[in-house]
Amino acid sequence: MILSLSDVTKSYRSAEGPIAVLKSVTLGLAQGESLALTGESGSGKSTLLHLAGGLDRPDSGSILVNGRDITALDDTGRASFRRTDVGVIFQQFNLIPSLDVADNISFHARLAGRFDAAWEAELVNELGIGQLLKRYPEQLSGGQQQRVAIGRTLAAKPPLVLADEPTGNLDEATADIVLDIMLRLTKSAKIALLLVTHSNRLADKLDRRITLSGGKVVP
Ligand code: ADP
Ligand code: MG
């Protein structure tokens, strides 16, 4: 298993008291497997992705990535985990404004010690962003930034990619094309993919699908 959550719980504090968002979440994702995560707005999908990405800690339960319990890591361990073991594509793309597209794409791969020029050329070609390499993020449309963010994340070949509505800013036809490309690239690099989507059509393209409801996974 590349990702394995066991009995994960998470609540947030609010003025009215704690809100239990994840009550007992258990799931597993194998190497190279793709899993769609669906559920109503507010069901905890983004919370789950943040926990799996080491951006936040659960209240209880264990989260193993690549065999390592990430809830037990100190700050240094978490920083190193985020550099090498997981890639995230969130709705805010977090491209680096001072770097052009080419450098944005290679930055994480270099940090992770996995820069691979041939793989990057393949990503750029498949994602159709070859004409954008010298531009800066502010000179790109939302859809173009989305493609660059996908390329940036896959460039480092992390064993696990977490994606929160990665094609949410694209029209239907383009979203289909971009997701097909993502699935082909993650399969070929044996990257496990956990992808949040509202769309049944997109969810059906992935190997498996789970739904969050009432803080739990409904099969
Ligand atoms: P989803 O991504 O499925 O729409 P989220 O994981 O973003 O759901 O949110 C789940 C619930 O947790 C919502 O009720 C949301 O308001 C609440 N929530 C999310 N993040 C925080 C936070 N940082 N502080 C307090 N409440 C939060
Ligand atoms: Mg969300």
pLDDT of residue 63: 98
Full residue range of the structural domain in which residue 128 is found? 32-57+73-218
pLDDT at residue 130, as a whole number: 97
Pairwise CA distance, residues 189 & 170, whole Å: 24
Question: Cα 212 from chain centroid?
Answer: 17
pLDDT, tens only, 151-210: 999 999 999 999 999 998 888 998 999 999 999 999 999 999 999 999 999 999 999 999
What is the per-residue pLDDT for 148? Answer: 96
- Tell me the pTM: 0.95
Question: Is residue 21 included in any domain, yes or no?
Answer: no
Q: For position 93, what pLDDT does the model report?
A: 84
* Inter-residue contact 84 to 63 (CB < 8 Å): no
**CB of 50 closer than 6 A to ligand 1?**
no
Any atom of ligand 1 within 6 Å of the Cβ of 106: no
Query: How far, rounded to the nearest angstrom, does the alpha carbon of residue 111 sit from its chain's CA centroid?
Result: 18
To test ligand 1's pocket by mutation, which of 8, 9, 10, 12 has the most ligand atoms within 8 angstroms of CB? 12
With respect to residue 50, please indicate whether it lies within any of the assigned structural domains: yes
* 197 CB within 6 A, ligand 1: no
How many domains does one find in the chain? 1
Mean pLDDT, residues 8-27 taken together:
95
DSSP character at residue 42: T
CATH number of the structural domain spanning residue 46:
3.40.50.300
Instruction: Reply yes or no on whether the pLDDT at 219 is more than 80.
Output: no
For residue 14, which atom of ligand 1 is closest to its CA? Answer: 25
Strand partners, 19: 12
Question: Is residue 41 within 6 Å of ligand 1 at its C-beta?
Answer: yes
Contact 32, 80 (CB under 8 A): no
Q: Which residue of 16, 47, 164 sits with most ligand 1 atoms within 8 Å of its CB, as the best mutation to test the pocket?
A: 47
Q: Whose CA is nearest to atom 7 of ligand 1?
A: 46
Q: What is the pLDDT of residues 165-181, one digit of tens each?
A: 999 888 899 899 999 99
Asked if the structure places residue 126 within a domain, the reply is yes
User: Is the CB of 42 inside a 6 Å radius of any atom of ligand 1?
Assistant: yes
Report yes or no on 11 lying in a domain: no
Q: Is the pLDDT of residue 18 over 80?
A: yes
Residue 175 corresponds to which amino acid? A
DSSP letters, 95-149, are --TTS-HHHHHHHHHHHTT---HHHHHHHHHHHT-GGGTTS-GGGS-HHHHHHHH
**pLDDT computed for residue 99 by the predictor:** 98
Taking only the tens place, the pLDDT of each residue in 89-141 is 987 888 999 999 999 999 999 999 999 999 999 999 999 999 999 999 999 99
Residue 144 binned pLDDT confidence (cut-offs 50, 70, 90): very high
Asked if 47 contacts 39 with a C-beta cutoff of 8 angstroms, the reply is no
Q: What is the pLDDT of residue 169?
A: 83
Q: Whose CA is nearest to atom 21 of ligand 1?
A: 12
Residue 5 maps to a domain:
no
**Is 95 part of any domain?**
yes
Residue 22 lies in a domain: no
Continuous segment of H or E residues that includes residue 50: helix 45-52
Of the candidates 155, 175, 178, the residue with the CA atom closest to the CA atom of residue 101? 155
pLDDT the model gives residue 151: 96
Q: Is residue 104 part of a domain?
A: yes
- Ligand lying nearest the CA atom of residue 50: 1
Ion ligand 2, residues whose Cβ is below 5 A away: 45-46
